[in-house]
Every structure is written in structure tokens, then in C-alpha cells.
Structure 1
Amino acid sequence: MRTRVQYKKGMGLVEILVAASIILLFLVAIITANNIYIKAGFGNTRKIQAGFLLEEGVEALRVMRDKGWAAFSSITPDTTYYLAYSAGTWDKTSTNTYIDSLFERSFVISCVTRDSSDKINTSVTTCPGNDSNTKQVTVSVAWHDQTGTTTRSITTYFQIPQ
């Protein structure tokens, strides 16, 4: 009769290797998930900052409008301008300025045309429009990240102050 030899030596080493592999895979998964969350967090931070810059841009244009409708309405339509804050007031400039060395904020003022029922006709963009007391304002904020350039815009209408 043959005796069967059982090898028990080395089994502990195999168990240690399997356990270490499982722990290593778990740690890699946690680190990967953490990196994804951090990237998403930075992306959301940029979007929130862009939202604030859009709002600030609209408010800056409102200040410019309130300073004088004649100067505001004489801004060349359908031309891209940038906002500059100098000496306690907002002004337009043709020179691109980056905010926090990251964000580019621009604006375009367009003429407004109304249809026969006095509603704004968005399909007609030729200037001069038939409503000289209203201007369409589009503020845009763009920034570069790992996926390319992201742009957010907001469009509103300004009327001559009463």
C-alpha cells in the first residue's frame, strides 16, 4: 500500500499572498474612486466660479447701462468685448483679460427686433432692430481644462432705464 504524502508547508504563504492581493486590489479601488471624486469636485468648482462670473458680468453691464443709455446703446453691436474694472467702475475693452489666470469673460450686445404682436423676434438679428430701447446682452465665460474648453453663457435683455 502506498502512503499519500500531504504537503502542508507553504500553504500559509499562499494564503498570505491571496490576502495581500485582495487588500491591494481594495486599496487601488479606493484610490481610484478618490481621484474620480476629486476631479469631479474641481470640475464643479469651476462651474460654480463660472456661474458667479456670469452673474457679475450681467451686473457690470447693468451698471454700465445705468450710467448712461446713450453710451451703452452705442456699443458696436455683434462685436465681442471684455469687461474691465478700473477706478471703481466697469468699462468695455477689446483686450482679453483672464480672471484668476483661468477664466475668459466676454460679452456681445445685439439689436432687438419685435414682431407685429410686440414680441421679441429672435430669428431676426440684423441691426438696427426696430426696438432701439431694448438690447440683447450675452455674457460668456470660458475656461480650459483636461477635456478641452468649456463655455457657459447667459442671455438677457436690457431696456432703457425709466
Structure 2
Amino acid sequence: MINLNKNKKKLLSGFTIIEVLVACAIISISMFALMQTAQKGIQLSGVALKKSQASFLLEEGAEAVKSIRDNNWTTISNLSLSPTQYHLFFNNSSSAWVLDTSSTSLVGSTTVYPLNGFDRKVTIYSVGRDDSDDILESGGTIDPRTKKVTVEVSWNSSGVANTKSLSFYITDIFN
């Protein structure tokens, strides 16, 4: 009878070790899954942050071009049209935005590049109109008082190139 109790204890103690191993495996797998989920959440937060920053840079670029137009339409009308791409700078002495083909800096201007990993370009296109004075995608009579502006922001995120763009029309509203 004593011998039977010893064998029973040995069998029961073996089950406890197996149960502990299974519990450790389940906890390990659960922790790994939670860490992967947290890592993916952080990665997606970073992507969302970059997209938000790009949207703000697009909006700032559009407002800067409108500011240049408001200060002097001739500055816009004298620029070379597409495919020339311009970069925006803020001139400290005149407190005004400047468009220039340089992507580094201008004398007397605040260097706004590399914009924390972003690149912002502005392209200006001529605008054609039909006989009804409606804007055409191509062709028509060139309207010297209207330009199409495209602001493009590009950045790399996890080795993937991303681009957002915003197109709008500006006109010489003060003449």
C-alpha cells in the first residue's frame, strides 16, 4: 500500500511540470503577440505623424505662394513655368516668402530644408481658357493673369517613398 502511494505521487508530480511548461509557453506566446501589436501600433503612429506633417507642409506651401501673389503678382508671372521646380524660403529682411530653384538656402533667408526629412517643391503652370472663359486642362488661350500651382511634399518612411500633392489656381486679384 505504501508503494502504491509513492507511484501515485510520481505520476502527479510529472503532470505539474508539464502544466508549468504549457503555461509558460502560453504566456510567452501571449507576450510576443502583445509586443508585436505594440510595435505595429508605434510604427503606424509614426506613419500617421509623417502624413499629418506632410499635410501641414502642403498647406503652408499653398499659403506661402498666395502670400507671394498678394505681395506682387509680377513675382509669380515672371517665374519659369513647368517643368521648373521651386523651393520655398522665408526672407528674414523682407519678412516675405521667396521661391527659388535652389534646394539649399538663400542669402538672408531662413533655411527651411531638409524640413525634417521632407522635400517640398512648387511647380507653376500656365492656364488656358476656352471661348467661354472656362479653364481647360490643355490648349486654349493662355491667361496671363491665372496660374496653376502644384505643391508637392515627398518623404521616405521605412524605406518607402511617399508623396502628397496639392494643386490650385491663383489669379492676379489685385489688378
TM-score under structure 1 length normalisation = 0.89
Counterpart CA distance in 1 for 2:78 and 2:102 is 19
Residue number in structure 2 paired with 1:112: 127
CA RMSD in angstroms comes to 1.8
Does residue 143 of the first structure (1) align with residue 161 of the second (2)? no
What residue identity is the alignment partner of 1:112? V
Deviations 1:89-109, CA, capped at 9 Å, x for gaps: 110121224343311001000
Aligned partner (choices 85, 89, 105) of residue 80 of structure 1:
85
Aligned partner (choices 102, 126, 140) of residue 95 of structure 1:
102
Gaps of 5+ in 1: none
TM-score under structure 2 length normalisation = 0.83
Give 3-state SS (helix, strand or coil) of 2:46's partner: helix
Give 3-state SS (helix, strand or coil) of 1:10's partner: helix
Aligned partner (choices 14, 19, 41) of residue 18 of structure 2:
14
Counterpart CA distance in 1 for 2:158 and 2:138 is 35
Structure 1 residues 89 and 146: alpha-carbon distance in aligned structure 2, compared to 1, 3 A threshold: same
Does residue 65 of the first structure (1) align with residue 69 of the second (2)? yes
Q: Among the aligned pairs, what percent are the same residue?
A: 33
Number of corresponding residues: 156
Does residue 123 of the first structure (1) align with residue 138 of the second (2)? yes
Higher relative helix content: 2
**Where does structure 1 differ by over 6 angstroms across 4 or more consecutive aligned residues?**
none
Structure 1 residues 8 and 28: alpha-carbon distance in aligned structure 2, compared to 1, 3 A threshold: same
Counterpart CA distance in 2 for 1:44 and 1:86 is 31
